[in-house]
Amino acid sequence: MKIKLRDIAHGRSGDKGDAANIGIIAYDEKGYKLIEDKLTADKVKEHFTGICKGEVERYELPNIKALNFILHNTLGGGGTVSLKHDAQGKTLAAALLRIELEVE
Amino acid sequence: MKDKIRIASGQGFWGDLIDAPYHQVTKGEIDYLVMDYLAEVTMSILQKQKNRNPNLGYARDLPDLMKKILPISTQKGIKVITNGGGVNPVACADAILETALQMDIKKLDIAVVLGDNIIDCLEDIISKGCELNNMETGESIVTYKNKMSSANVYFGAMPIVEALEKGADIVITGRTTDTGLTLAPMIYEFGWDRSNYDLMAAGTIAGHILECGAQSTGGNFLGDWESIENFAEIGFPIAEAYPNGEVIITKHENTGGKVSFDTIAEQLVYEIGDPKDYITPDCVADFASIKLEDLGNDRVKVFNVKGQPETEFYKVSCSYQDGYSAAGNLTYSWPQALTKAKKADRILRKRLKNLALEFDEIRTEFIGYNATHETLAEQIDEDKINEIVLRVSVKSKDRETVNRFGQEIAPLILTGPPSVTGFAGGRPKPKDVIAYWPALIPKNLVKPIVKILELK
């Protein structure tokens, strides 16, 4: 069975130089266990193929049921020099919510 | 010692709701108003303004804003802390004092925090062995130093604490961390021990929650955003701080927006890296340690915050002009809106190629289709698309090349695919591309200076 990340989590994204940060927060503990298990850095990197051109790092904040992803080399050079319409990666959290996670 | 203080955020960025600070001082009780005006690119713009006119280089909204706020803040004893001094805190303070003189204000002490602006001391700093290596590329600043248009050290809370100890009613700083603006009044009011890093981290995290204004009270909230009521009169966040480091985030009653576990959690994860390693001049805060408790009624308790000692460095942010860019838009309507826009893009690129123009980058986006989510955008059925905005942007070291792009995109209206509009604004003009140079500097190479300017 597939679960849409959008149904179990929300989040916010922004810029850190040419890297984007995407924080994803599960709505409940069950959701956090699921994203902790399934929403890996590799999975996020694969999702952003063609957009994220560097490594993806993942950090956990279990107290607030959140994961933080750093997507390196993603914003076309960074906020002030990027030609991107979304030069600061503000809409990338929503883009990650498109992902579907396989659950048993 | 006070048993609690209420610190209100008045601006999330320069350009935020102009009346938000006024509402913070009028719609309920607060002790401090803090306002963050400085983004990375702002310093470079302000430095340019100051180069043209030595009396400029600060957030020019401030004197007018203070004119509205001073009658209330002076009467209630609300202190104002802002980094809106930009590259010229003294001129900013002078302008506010001038405003105060024209009003019936008897006493006003404004402190300025100086010493962060190192644009004129780069040689000196390099000669002392610090080459301000770029944190991203590792390159030394030596070959770039003459290109730099701004260079500022991020100071933390301590210069502001010193200003408050000297009796300041208003503190105007240059480049100060957003978090330091909020931490400073806690250190000052509660007499916090500078080496109690859990407390430093608690105040820092409160600052992080406040620094983007209404982004913690329901603005830009990706959770159940439709449940947010009364966006039109959204309340900005208030940190109710206690001496033990616990902070309750709230907002004034009868304002719009929402303070909940979810709205605070979203702001906590905004623009952070490794959550255990949030480095500021005051401490290294551990975001993974934070606990939140939703108390209901737009009150969320932030507690259990852990911190580590600060590093031996300040962060430095330098900027320099690195070529030019321009972006132009054209709107194509149904039928075949996307096909037309794609064809127009190919025609434009062919013309630019025929002119042998060399760009560092040409970027095409289709707003209404893939401008935000790029390769993740769902395929669309063209019959169901009413319109598409073609956005083409270019970057080049040569200004004339970018200018010529602006001259080539407009003619597509008459020389390309049909049912196109949206060029009323004229040709896109070349804009300066401002590149950013982040670096570290040993703390002993710079010294914050705090001065009090009094009403004469």
Output the pLDDT for position B423. 77
Number of structural domains in chain B: 2
Query: B109-136, pLDDT tens digit by residue?
Result: 999 999 999 999 999 999 999 999 999 8
- Give the whole-angstrom CA distance, residue B287 versus residue B41: 27
CA A41 to chain B, closest CA, distance in angstroms equals 14
- Give the whole-angstrom CA distance, residue B425 versus residue B221: 32
- Give the whole-angstrom CA distance, residue B327 versus residue B337: 20
Output the pLDDT for position B159. 98
- Residues of B within 8 A of A87 (CB-CB) are none
- Tell whether the torsion through CA atoms of A73, A77, A78 and A83 is positive or negative: negative
- Give the whole-angstrom CA distance, residue B209 versus residue B183: 11
| Residue B1 pLDDT grade (very low, low, confident, very high; cuts 50, 70, 90) | confident
- If you average pLDDT over residues B52-58, what whole number do you get? 95
- 10 Å CB burial of residue A1 (0-12, 13-18, 19+) is exposed
Residue B289: pLDDT above 80? yes
User: Looking at the structure, do residues B223 and B273 belong to the same domain, yes or no?
Assistant: yes
Across the interface, do B265 and A66 touch by the CB < 8 Å criterion? yes
Output the pLDDT for position B10. 97
Output the pLDDT for position A104. 81
User: Looking at the structure, do residues B389 and B299 belong to the same domain, yes or no?
Assistant: no
Q: Is residue A11 less than 8 Å (CB to CB) from chain B?
A: yes
Residue B421: pLDDT above 90? yes
Q: What is the ipTM of this complex?
A: 0.97
Residue B335: pLDDT above 90? yes
| Residue A5 pLDDT grade (very low, low, confident, very high; cuts 50, 70, 90) | very high
User: Looking at the structure, do residues B281 and B403 belong to the same domain, yes or no?
Assistant: no
What is the span of the domain harbouring residue B241?
5-116+154-311
User: Looking at the structure, do residues B357 and B242 belong to the same domain, yes or no?
Assistant: no
Higher-pLDDT residue of B11 and A78 is: B11
| Selection from B311, B308, B282, B111 nearest residue B207 by Cα | B282
Residue B15: pLDDT above 80? yes
Helix, strand, or coil (residue A59) = strand
Say if B445 falls within a structural domain.
Answer: no
Residue B77: pLDDT above 90? yes
- Residues of B within 8 A of A14 (CB-CB) are 270-271
Q: In what helix (H) or strand (E) does residue A36 lie, and over which residues does it extend?
A: helix A29-38
- If you average pLDDT over residues B235-258, what whole number do you get? 98
Q: How far is CA B25 from CA B28, B66, B77, B380, B414, in A?
A: 7, 11, 11, 49, 54
Counting residues of chain A whose pLDDT is more than 90, the rounded percentage is 94
B379: domain CATH number?
3.30.70
Tell me the residue type at B318: C
How many residues are present in chain A?
A: 104
Pick B41's closest partner by Cβ from A70, A80, A83.
A80
Output the pLDDT for position B163. 98
- Residues of A within 8 A of B435 (CB-CB) are 80-81
Residue B302: pLDDT above 90? yes
Going by the DSSP 8-state scheme, the letter that residue A67 receives in this structure is: E
Q: Which of B311, B330, B363 is the last residue of a domain?
A: B311
User: Looking at the structure, do residues B287 and B352 belong to the same domain, yes or no?
Assistant: no
Query: In angstroms, what is the C-alpha Rg of chain B?
Result: 25
Query: B262-286, pLDDT tens digit by residue?
Result: 999 999 999 999 999 999 999 999 9
Pick B436's closest partner by Cβ from A48, A50, A80.
A80
Say if B125 falls within a structural domain.
Answer: no
Say if B235 falls within a structural domain.
Answer: yes
- If you average pLDDT over residues B379-386, what whole number do you get? 90
User: Looking at the structure, do residues B84 and B187 belong to the same domain, yes or no?
Assistant: yes
User: Looking at the structure, do residues B103 and B206 belong to the same domain, yes or no?
Assistant: yes
Counting residues of chain B whose pLDDT is more than 70, the rounded percentage is 100
Per the CB < 8 A criterion, the answer to whether B283 and B193 are in contact is: no
| Selection from B209, B215, B207, B217 nearest residue B182 by Cα | B207
Residue from A28, A61, A99 whose CB has the most chain B CBs within 10 Å, to mutate: A61
Say if B121 falls within a structural domain.
Answer: no
Q: Which of B262, B290, B311 is the last residue of a domain?
A: B311
Per the CB < 8 A criterion, the answer to whether B179 and B204 are in contact is: yes
User: Looking at the structure, do residues B232 and B347 belong to the same domain, yes or no?
Assistant: no
User: Looking at the structure, do residues B307 and B327 belong to the same domain, yes or no?
Assistant: no
Output the pLDDT for position A79. 77
Tell me the residue type at A60: E
- Give the whole-angstrom CA distance, residue B170 versus residue B81: 6
